[in-house]
Structure 1
Amino acid sequence: MKKTLIADVSLLLVAFVWGATFVLVQNAISFLEPFTFNGIRFFTAAVLLGGWLLLFERKQLLSINKKLLFSGILLGTLLFIGYAFQTVGLLYTSSSKAGFITGLNVVLVPMIAIFLLKQRPGANAVVGVVIATAGLYLLTMTDKVKLNIGDGFIFICAIGFALHIIFTGKFSNNYPSLMLTVVQISTVAILSSIFSFGFENWQMAFQPDVILTENVLSALIITSVFATALAFFAQTNFQKFTTPTRVALIFAMEPVFAAATAFIWAGERLSYTAIIGCILIFSGMVFAELPVRKDVFLGKFKRKHAA
């Protein structure tokens, strides 16, 4: 129970970091295109984690084999799919709809886990998912609900993130966390760089007046260290102590933290429905954490039938 609690609190901190850095990333990609930004962000994180691995955890290098590399590359590819399709989808749809559809991984994770991992979520988790999904809708869906091709891309993004959560839970039990994180982060860096070379003006990354801009440089440093290196290492390390459904519910708090930091730092106002949505998301996460008193229900069931 103690390890599970520590894992859940650590993952909640990860969601906070991702939500808190959302405004930073938005500002940065107005100067530096998304794939280029992510290429630098994930490459820097890979170098930091790789350096720590070589200096302090060199014994983990002995664990490298084809299965570990395959697992890390698969996780990195799924993570890249999430970021890539989210980026493309935002070209065609609103950020509010993108936020809601991306958040649907809170529903997708338990559904996919039933088929891939044969894990059925508990009653509390199911109710928590329903409450959190309603909250996501109220928090993010501020415009008319009219689907377009961008929404389809965002839905693929949600599937990518959902699968990443599920397979992280599966692989994190089998391999050293740091080594597995380095491989997946490096994979995202390579794939982001390839797409940057193919579809963006990647040369801007080498222009001092762009890369040294306060918005870009501060965003790269903060996201590389906290929102990438530390965050994904924490997810890989702690997810082994909890379930994919609980992870998805915890990560549903990301838009709540994003809304809160946007209110504090950018002066964005929250509507009453958005505030209610934040409360519902938090309530759904907390409800899923409540213990299920199976002994009580079993006792009532036995007494009823004994009578």
Structure 2
Amino acid sequence: MIPQIRSRVLWIVMSGLVLLLASVHLMIGGLDQHEEKSQRLRFLPDGHFLRTASLGYRELTADVLWLQAIQVMGERKVSPEAGRWIYRLLDVVTTIDPKFTWAYEAGGIALCTLVVLPEESNRLLEKGMLHNPEEWKFPFLLSINYAFELGEDAKAAEAMALAAQLPGAPSNLGRLAANFFVSAKAPQQAIDLLSDLYEKTSDPGTKSLLGERLKRVAVERDLQLIEGSIARYRQSHGGLPSRLEDLTTSGILEKLPIEPYGGRYEYDPHSGTVRSSEISERMTLSMKRRRDSL
């Protein structure tokens, strides 16, 4: 009788788990058809409750919810509301399974690539660092956020220095940390490191997000290059160039950089400012503007 009782209990538990996962999947997955995306936040389950309810099947529960996050991250345009939903859902996922490293990595990148939510990205990455202290990618991505989204170079240097000390970290992370301490931004070195991470990443979703992040940093690198060239032109010619091509004809730039999104770099000869036609806000200015408006 005891084996039969145990089998019956196991069947009841498994049935309950299946029903729980199915209800969660339908509850948050069906909102695309019946609710505004901004309403998703109201339907997110509590991570600690699901961690307890899933018993020994935490990884399976986390995987089901992870699939929901992937669907939203794959949308062509992610609104701030959807971005906050991604953060909340990934917080639930990583509460259920704190060792789910892909969720931290992909989420941390997505929250600063698909939508500009660096604080939420940082909280997710810091949570990953807490539960996975030997994973160098989390403090590395945290450092990139501090440097290029928040403009906080001291914190960027601290996070990069921590990443450099962890197992498997690229050898040049220490040098990049030193550059942050000394001179602020180093976009080309960030590109080199992100490119190395891109090549070593096997997960297609994470790889796609890293590719998008690389483009964003490349735009910032190009804008800094053009701005520096405009400053040198003004110093040597006593005025602003009338067009960007003047930077090449004068020999200050060998050639103009190619906008990585397939757009163009637009120049205002009256103010001397330059921007990408495809990116609405600079990485290093977006959060400053938001803070200044408060």
> Aligning the two structures, in what range does the TM-score lie when normalised by the shorter sequence?
under 0.3
Structure with larger RCO (C-alpha < 8 A, sep 6+): 1
Query: Normalised by the size of structure 1, how large is the TM-score?
Result: 0.26
Query: Normalised by the size of structure 2, how large is the TM-score?
Result: 0.27
- Specify the structure having the higher radius of gyration (Cα): 2
Hey, which of these two has a bigger chunk of helix by percent? 1
